[in-house]
Structure 1
Amino acid sequence: MARLPEGTLMQRAATGLAHAVAGLLGGVYGRRVVLLVGPGDNGGDALYAGAQLARRGAAVEAWLLAAQAHPAGGDALRAAGGRLVDASDGPPRTSTSPSASPSPSASPSTPDVVVDGIVGIGGRPGLRANAVAALAALQGVPVVAVDVPSGVDVDTGEVDGPHVVADLTVTFGTHKVAHLVDPAAHAAGALHLVDIGLDIGLDTGPDGDLADRPADVTALQPADVAALLPRPAPDAHKYSRGVVGVRAGSATYPGAARLSVAGASCGLVGMVRYVGDASVRAAVQADHPEVVGDGRVQAWVVGSGSDEGARAALEEALADNVPVLVDADALALPDLADLVHGRPGPRRAVLTPHAGELARMLGVDRARVEARPLAHARRAAREYDAVVLLKGHHTLVCRPDGRTAVTTTGTPWLATAGAGDVLGGVIGALLAAGLDPFDAAAVGSWLHGAAATLAAGRGPIRAGDVAAGLPALIGRVMGESMA
């Protein structure tokens, strides 16, 4: 890649940031914009963007939180008619340059938007007192963060101390972990990605293949999902496409079986088998007459709604030496780690806890899991020697070596009873179709969230609506990849 002139990337970032702010405001002329400016390049991005907004008729004021703000950015803002305000000791005092002596400020009205350029991806978690005071003075005003909300941990998504809660985060080149992993992802608000021409290459091995980077956090895109989805060969038959077995539900919880089978019956395999209570089996087959009984399978789904039968169901499934998805009641078995540990990669178990279940599996409080979901999901994957899917706002899928996929599809309406049963069925089908356990969990979670979004539209959904929408969604993803 040819070397760019100095400052080119910052100017591109500033232009993208200015456009995003203008879009949020619905127009620029006559609007009041406050920039919170720290000492780094994020502050420079904010100042240059502020200069562009000022030239378009906005009243722009930069609150300088550090003695050494970006000098060229400050000059650009001042030349465009913006104001520089010394806020190093608190909000705010005006100045004529980033290092000038302060004088009393006259800030006549509430701003229309605040741009957070306090710290960037190199900053430490938390905020200094003057930044906290500035944010408090601007409480209630929409916030646009530059790259990441200041104060969050960029590398883990953790939040420890004061931080910015943004309505919109404008980031450059590629998403960061903090955009994808809660609780920082929640603080980022909506995301707007700007291409500034960064050469974001992937590490490759000696043969040109992608090198394994265990600490990576990735988010599947539609093209990734389409490439991984199983497609039947021209001479396929129902057995060659894969057979998934479901051991879920009970007389007490028959719905768990019906929804797990509904997820598994999304069309990704040639056959679904159900093994369980006779009365439950009758209900399952009333919903899905194509479902058959016990027999050979390529993957099992075990645990949801199985009550005291969870241990027997899991032990029988593991004895088949095929991949097994473990959910709900089976996750509570005290010796689960011993049962699933040591299985080779293609037959590695997939565990699908929510935060409370993961806390029990690790012997910690739920609050600790919710504060550090990535760290705890990775720990569980190591300790259980399994793929761990931690359900949540942004679901995490972790391998024992730390590699992680984040699900960015979904809707808050997906927080409904039975949705996890459908998810287990979908992943089980992908396992039976031959996907690696990690890929099956990541793709299944993506499909589950996308189907929920399509089913919801603007209103509530039931778990069955998600299952019903899966075949059409899968066809759509496959079709778009071939267009």
Structure 2
Amino acid sequence: MKYLSVQEMVAIEKAANRFGQTYAAMMEAAGKGLAEVIERRYGPAKEKSILALVGSGNNGGDALVALSYLLEWGWKASAALFRARDSLDKLIQRFLAGGGELVDCSDPEKDSTALKELIGNSSIILDGVLGTGIHLPLRPPLDRLLGMTGEFLNTVEEKPVVVAVDCPSGLDCDTGEVSPSCIKADLTVTMAAIKQGLLKFPAYNYVGELELVDIGLPDNLPEWEGITREVIERDWVRDVLPVRPLDAHKGTFGTSLIVAGSLPYPGAAILAGVSAYRIGTGLVTMAVPKEIYSGLIKTIPEATWIILEDLSGRITENAVQQIKDALGRPAACLIGPGLSQADTTARFLEGVIELENLPSLILDADGLRLLSRLENWPRKLPSGSVLTPHPGEMAVLTGLSVDEIQADRVGIAEHYARDWDQILLLKGAHTVIASPGGGSRILLSADPALARAGSGDVLAGIICGLIAQGMDPSTAAASGAWVHARAGRLAAAQAGTPAAVLAGDISRALGQVLAELQKGKD
């Protein structure tokens, strides 16, 4: 799924129209696809009655096309006009000819009983009032009409399902801002691509589930092909994960080197190492401070161990030679989880990243904060390393505020991936993976189950394990983020609530995620 701005979508539709896929044809495809989603999701289980809230623009047209198809498929359909449409409108004529009921609700000063009754008698509300081109604040009378609709929805005895056409009415599809009268959707059926504002906050709180429908864009449309931002999809993850041949041995699946842990944070090393194994790595080598080694060895008996020189349980610069001696075998090296921020560990990190013949590097957690203290670190760090900051760590690396980062997560990630010549995974709601050569992937996931100490250590171990198995680092970061998020959802289901999920639960769910994906291949 492409991820784009409203302006980019407008340019794509204009280009498609020039190439012969007319606006009318795109509306027909969008409306039919919308109707098919509603029939598939709600036709078997719900009373087949639907009310569309219809505006004067393209969203209203999509809604009317969908209603006409649903009438053919046995639905009872009504349309409430929130903005006047031409009485000769062919879409309205088609809808009425199919047996639909049309009610003018465009004046909030008139008796609203008809609208309230229509809402109360419908199992589905189709919100087609406003589209992606609106700018806030809303003006009368639409703000009042939408607010009144929201009040009616909250007072009916059995609340209908709300399906938004492309976006909930009253939502800015570029900025993510929301009108106070915005109608909250249970499902948003978006056309052709995900509009960037839908994944921003507070907008995402109003979107509900997201589903995409095709609008029949021509093949090889340059304006479409030029969009390099993609939302990560399950099928893509399934297809890119490493194959596990029957004649494999442990060397087939690579070696991960995990440089992690300190006296205050020994568990971070375990979470990363175990997760690297559970994602399929053939061998995991744990490089940890001498003082915590004896307490950790029993937790991962499958690992091999490098006992690093330390001071008070923190890795020292004297351990650089030990890492150099271990570099022959690992295909990926993770540095950072639980390292602490001792000055001697910062000198250790500087020594390591200046070594020759390094495997692919992943820097996480304390490794990133230590990195930020090194002069001219972007030029010292090998190109194409994977950096996995959360917004607070990104603020330390860039000097920007967390608010500035969160206001433009995709743009900020893309800028610094290019500037630093590194792969950047910016954690948070809708994690962004940006590559220095261009192209970004956005994870469609905002899940409190992942907001837990140690969750990032699990993700870092997953990415390291995938790279060790031969995956391209950018692909490993994006697919690893999806697997991590899916494991969080499964762990929350097992625990009964996201609040009860621990990082170890996420790691333990990795096998179930891989099994689900394997079923899709079989």
* Residue from 286, 289, 309 that aligns with 2:301: 289
- 8 A contact 1:152–1:184 mirrored in 2: yes
Gaps of 5+ in 2: 1-15, 154-160, 307-325
Change (3 A) 1:107 1:476: closer
* Residue from 368, 374, 380 that aligns with 1:331: 368
Matches of 1:161 and 1:268, distance apart in 2: 43
1:444-483 alignment to 2 at 5 Å? 444-457=480-493, 459-460=496-497, 461-478=501-518, 480-481=520-521, 483=522
- 8 A contact 2:368–2:393 mirrored in 1: yes
1:405 Cα deviation after fit: 1.0
Change (3 A) 1:436 1:126: farther
Q: Indicate the SS of the match to 1:305.
A: coil
CA offsets, 1:313-349, max 9 Å, x none? Answer: 53244234332212222323434683234756xx512
Change (3 A) 1:70 1:374: farther
Question: Alignment identity in percent?
Answer: 31
1:74-473 alignment to 2 at 5 Å? 74-79=92-97, 80-85=99-104, 87=106, 91=108, 106-109=114-117, 111-112=119-120, 113-121=124-132, 123-126=133-136, 128-130=138-140, 131-140=142-151, 141=153, 143-152=162-171, 154=173, 158-160=175-177, 162=179, 165-178=184-197, 184-195=203-214, 197-199=216-218, 201=220, 213=226, 215-231=227-243, 238-239=250-251, 241-294=253-306, 295-296=326-327, 297-309=330-342, 310-320=345-355, 321-333=358-370, 334-335=372-373, 338-341=376-379, 347-408=383-444, 411-457=447-493, 459-460=496-497, 461-473=501-513
Matches of 1:257 and 1:384, distance apart in 2: 27
Matches of 1:317 and 1:66, distance apart in 2: 68
Matches of 1:177 and 1:220, distance apart in 2: 14
Greater displacement, 250-259 / 217-226: 217-226
Greater displacement, 469-478 / 369-378: 469-478
Change (3 A) 1:70 1:235: farther
The residue type paired with residue 188 of structure 2 is: T
Matches of 2:88 and 2:294, distance apart in 1: 71
CA offsets, 1:401-435, max 9 Å, x none? Answer: 44111223685423322111100011111222332
- 8 A contact 1:452–1:466 mirrored in 2: yes
* TM norm structure 2: 0.75
- 8 A contact 2:354–2:380 mirrored in 1: no
Q: Indicate the SS of the match to 2:163.
A: strand
1:44 Cα deviation after fit: 0.5
Change (3 A) 1:178 1:8: same
- 8 A contact 2:76–2:100 mirrored in 1: no
The residue type paired with residue 305 of structure 1 is: G
The residue aligned with 2:7 is none
Matches of 2:289 and 2:429, distance apart in 1: 33
Q: Indicate the SS of the match to 2:168.
A: coil
Matches of 2:199 and 2:463, distance apart in 1: 21
1:395 Cα deviation after fit: 1.6
2:30 corresponds to 1:13? yes
Q: Indicate the SS of the match to 2:278.
A: coil
Change (3 A) 1:441 1:57: closer
1:169 Cα deviation after fit: 0.7
Change (3 A) 1:58 1:301: same
* Residue from 42, 55, 64 that aligns with 1:47: 64
Determine which structure has the larger helix proportion and give its number: 2
- 8 A contact 1:409–1:453 mirrored in 2: no
CA offsets, 1:262-288, max 9 Å, x none? Answer: 111225322211222224323332111
CA offsets, 1:363-415, max 9 Å, x none? Answer: 33333333332222223323333211122232211113441112236854233
Greater displacement, 444-453 / 52-61: 52-61
Matches of 2:259 and 2:67, distance apart in 1: 59
Greater displacement, 13-22 / 41-50: 13-22
* TM norm structure 1: 0.80
